[in-house]
Structure 1
Amino acid sequence: MNVPNLLTVFRFVLIPVYLVLFFSELPNRTVWAFGVLLLAGLTDVLDGYLARRHQQVTQLGVMLDPLADKLMMLAVFLSLLVSQMISITAAIAIFIRDLGMISLSAFFHFRGKLTVPANLMGKLTTVLYYIALSLLMFGYPSGSEFLWGVIIFSFITSLIYLLQFKMLNQRTM
């Protein structure tokens, strides 16, 4: 296993660490949990950079990288829902979109279809989610409205991803 894939696996390990910190009784628990979230984001950037720079992009990495991102985001949004920092409607919209993307990616991967690697729109969506999370976790009043804008944008990027997936797999047939 190469270093970029190890960094991706490390992000999976950070998910329970985030949850333990977020729900702990530690002073400044939100700051600590947010720090873990930022570490996950930085390792995401680093693993992508290393994979491209050293020509270590693998099909496993192409599949695991977005899965690690989505599972971390789902864990964070679940923690925000349980803590009543986001509405059930926002959580359902996020869960439907992310679980749908995870399920479809896995379904098509195991059917031998090519997977669309992360693209600029997906990366922008992730950055916008991180901004929304920081606004929500630290109690900024516009956090909920910003989150809804990101949710709408994420559904648009999902449609673009599905179109790219369809075009990619039509060319390879």
Structure 2
Amino acid sequence: MPVELKIKFRDFFLAPNLMSLLRVALTAPLAYCLALDTMTGTLIAAGILLAAGITDFLDGFLARKLNQISALGHILDPVADKLLAIILIIELIIFRDFPIWLAAAVLLRDLVIMLVGLKIVKRRHEIVASNLSGKYYFASLAVLLGAYILRFDFGISIFLWVVILFYCMSVINYGRVMAAEMRGTPIPLFKDKVLYKLGRMLFVVTVLSVFLYRLYVDVVAGYF
């Protein structure tokens, strides 16, 4: 739901926000290891991406568990995600033939969300929290980027479609926010029905299970 824009300096030292800042710090070593374009660099880059994913989970978990939800956290979390994704995508275009059309779609979505978010902050002095489909979208994008890092073709072929699915869902949800902003009506809350949530979670778990199995067979077993 929308959060009042009120940032305090001490919020930088809250545990969830430190996790987001750590994710920003991991961007440089991840980019460096991938640029080495060696087996060791590839494995380290994949490990750093996994660590970044863990911090992405922890910042939200700690914010709820410790009751440390803040306006700064609502800004840092998506900024850290987008910074990591954009830099990694640029490198993957150079070293892994990441599709230009998908990179353009990712950048366009992030740009539109940022512009709409800034407009809402300016007019309403509140921040719109990310929705569930947006979180699923970024999680699936992170797995896809990991598959490109490892040159895991089977994982790429699966998660490319998963990313497209959640991309469309998140665009529709954020479109509701844009429509509300243009009409001057209250920002709609994202209420997912229980069965809808369960269906999406089962879908993700199923695809992820297949992905991990083939990752072991095609990549891990090949290295060792």
Q: Same fold (TM over 0.5)?
A: yes
Give the Cα–Cα distance (whole angstroms) in 2 for the partners of residues 102 and 28 of structure 1: 36
Give the Cα–Cα distance (whole angstroms) in 2 for the partners of residues 46 and 65 of structure 1: 11
Shift of 1:129: 1.1
Structure 1 pair 75/166, CA: closer, same or farther in 2 (3 Å)?
same
Tell me the TM-score normalized by structure 1: 0.84
Shift of 1:80: 0.6
Q: Is the 8 A contact 1:90 1:148 kept in 2?
A: no
Tell me the TM-score normalized by structure 2: 0.67
AA of the residue aligned to 2:132: L
Q: 1:59-138 residue pairs with structure 2 within 5 A?
A: 59-138=71-150
> 1:34 maps to what in 2?
46
AA of the residue aligned to 2:65: R
Q: Which moved more, 1:3-12 or 1:150-159?
A: 150-159
> 1:171 maps to what in 2?
186
**Can you give the 5+ residue segments of structure 2 that lack an aligned partner in the other structure?**
1-10, 188-224
* Total equivalences in the alignment: 172
Structure 1 pair 20/164, CA: closer, same or farther in 2 (3 Å)?
same
AA of the residue aligned to 2:127: T
Structure 1 pair 107/17, CA: closer, same or farther in 2 (3 Å)?
farther
Q: Is the 8 A contact 2:31 2:87 kept in 1?
A: yes
Q: Are 1:52 and 2:67 an aligned pair?
A: no
Structure 1 pair 104/15, CA: closer, same or farther in 2 (3 Å)?
farther
Q: Alignment identity in percent?
A: 30
Shift of 1:148: 4.9
Shift of 1:170: 2.5
Shift of 1:128: 1.1
Give the Cα–Cα distance (whole angstroms) in 2 for the partners of residues 25 and 130 of structure 1: 19
Structure having the higher Rg: 2
C-alpha offsets along residues 51-109 of structure 1, whole Å, 9 cap, x if unaligned?
11111100111111111111111111111111143122222122212233233323433
AA of the residue aligned to 1:97: R
**Can you give the 5+ residue segments of structure 1 that lack an aligned partner in the other structure?**
none
Q: CA RMSD in A?
A: 2.4
Structure 1 pair 82/99, CA: closer, same or farther in 2 (3 Å)?
farther
1:28 is paired with a residue whose SS is helix
